[in-house]
Structure 1
Amino acid sequence: MKKFLLATVALVAFAAPAAAADLAARPYTKAPPPMIATVYDWSGFYIGANGGWGSSHNCWDQQTPGGVFIGADGCQNATGGVAGGQIGYRWQSGTWVFGLEAQGDWADLKASSNSLLFPGLFTNETKVDAFGLFTGQIGYAANNVLFYLKGGAAVTDNRYNTFTTPPVVLAGSVSNTRWGGTVGVGIDFGFAPNWSAGIEYDHLFMQDNTYNLTTPGGVLFSTIRERQDVDLVTVHVNYKWGGPVIAKY
């Protein structure tokens, strides 16, 4: 029995240093670095180009030069392409984005209709050659996707013509620049550092105005009361100055 106890003590004494050596040999593993999330920053000045489609709904009422209503003379839906540019500034507070923008476009919106008061004798024509928008914006940013509403002032450059039919001879015309209001909605997508693209819809509420159409010789031909509303759908690309992303740990 004494010999057995001595052998057991010797075995334990031999195994303990070996186990301690195994524990000391474990390699050191470095902790992984913290995750870094990047968030798109919409703040900064931007400039860009746009293009798309427009429709101007115009209705004419004939009246006397003194303002006495004669009768409704028909409506035209002047449609066509638009192209231009925009410049603005946005600043971001959390997920909310605020901005100011000025936009100017050339337009080729044109339509005509037969006179309701003088059918077969005259044709009325509306043309929109350009428009401008001066708006404020408020939007919600989901990282690099921005949803926004806009509103402000609008201006259109128009020409109204009346032709004889037939033959087609200009009987009276007038050109004018008129002011109104606009509201719109859009979405922008930041697809690269400092670059974004999007699509936008705008509706222009133009005031009712009275115009005197004159002959090529400058003689009064007719007086019209004209109503106008414009719908625009455009796509745009913007380049922004400023940091494209901010890091969040």
Structure 2
Amino acid sequence: MKKILAALVAIAALTVAVPAVGADLGARPYYNKAPAYAAPIYNWTGFYIGGHLGGAFTGSHDFNGAVLSDSSARLLGGVQAGIDWQFAPNWVLGTEGQYSWLGKNNLTATFPGGYVYTNDQRGLGSITARLGYTWGPGLVYVKGGYAYSDNSERLTLAGAPIPFLLDGNHSNGWTVGGGVEYMFAPNWSVKGEYMYYDFGSTRFVSPAALAPFGSFHNDDHTLKAGVNYRFNFAGPVAARY
């Protein structure tokens, strides 16, 4: 019996001692788990405003053989504003208004009899729809719609201005083009684009002496580089991996 009691006492002592030893070893260390990597998703939905610089080029045309001077390259600079909606999820649909001021360069036609026609094209405007495909910060797009040409025209005879009438409204036309845009910061993007403007053909109705000379075509090619500031409708979005 004494041996049994001694064994029970030893077991009880050992049971009490084990937790104490565990307590002496200290608490189990805690390690902070590293946060998951968050890759940004670029958001193209929203309103934007910006500016651009570039050049405009007009083809060489004539009034049925009458001399129409070439319009050499002109500098341009202007502003744009638009709104985009990103959907499905890599497509971007939007609309944009744009106006470019043109460097002074008169287009001149000289007719037999002393008539001289001059057109100083002061600016180009457009309201277009835009469809693009995005891969994160990049966007490639096409656009097209209404175009406007701000023309300042005159006809002179022996140096004196005279009234005249043209049969077409070559201030209104259409435009088509495309470009690439890149978002280099959460609210900033840069772009480069080409646009073709067509304002139809024009002929003289009066004076009658100029009617037989036929018509000439009105079109422009432009190259532009620009920057936009974007007011996104939604806040920053992140994808976790």
- Scaled to the shorter chain, the TM-score interval is 0.7 to 0.9
Distance 1:50 1:173, change over 3 A: farther
Distance 1:130 1:108, change over 3 A: same
Residue segments in structure 1 that go unaligned for 5+ positions in a row: 1-16, 62-70, 215-219
Q: Distance in 2 between matches of 1:76 and 1:107?
A: 17
Count of residue correspondences: 211
Equivalent of 1:85 in 59, 79, 85:
79
Q: Among the aligned pairs, what percent are the same residue?
A: 26
Corresponding position of 1:159: 152
- Pairwise CA distance, 1:74: 2.9
CA deviation map 1:15-64 (0-9, x unaligned): xx9xxx8xx88745443221111111010011111222112235342xxx
Corresponding position of 1:106: 101
- After the TM superposition, list the runs of 4 or more consecutive aligned residues in structure 1 that deviate by more than 6 angstroms: 171-176
Q: TM-score, normalised by structure 2?
A: 0.73
- Equivalent residue letter for 2:236: V
Q: Distance in 2 between matches of 1:75 and 1:245?
A: 54
Q: Which has the higher strand share?
A: 1
- Pairwise CA distance, 1:114: 6.6
Residue segments in structure 2 that go unaligned for 5+ positions in a row: 1-17
Q: Distance in 1 between matches of 2:182 and 2:228?
A: 10
Equivalent of 1:235 in 194, 209, 225:
225
- Pairwise CA distance, 1:212: 4.9
Corresponding position of 1:210: 203
- Pairwise CA distance, 1:148: 0.8
The 8 Å contact of residues 147 and 197 in structure 2, kept in 1 or not, is answered as yes
Alignment of 1:238-249 (within 5 A): 238-242=228-232, 243=234, 245-249=236-240
- Equivalent residue letter for 1:85: V
- Pairwise CA distance, 1:128: 0.8
Q: Distance in 1 between matches of 2:175 and 2:192?
A: 16
The 8 Å contact of residues 106 and 121 in structure 2, kept in 1 or not, is answered as no
RMSD between superposed Cα atoms in Å: 3.1
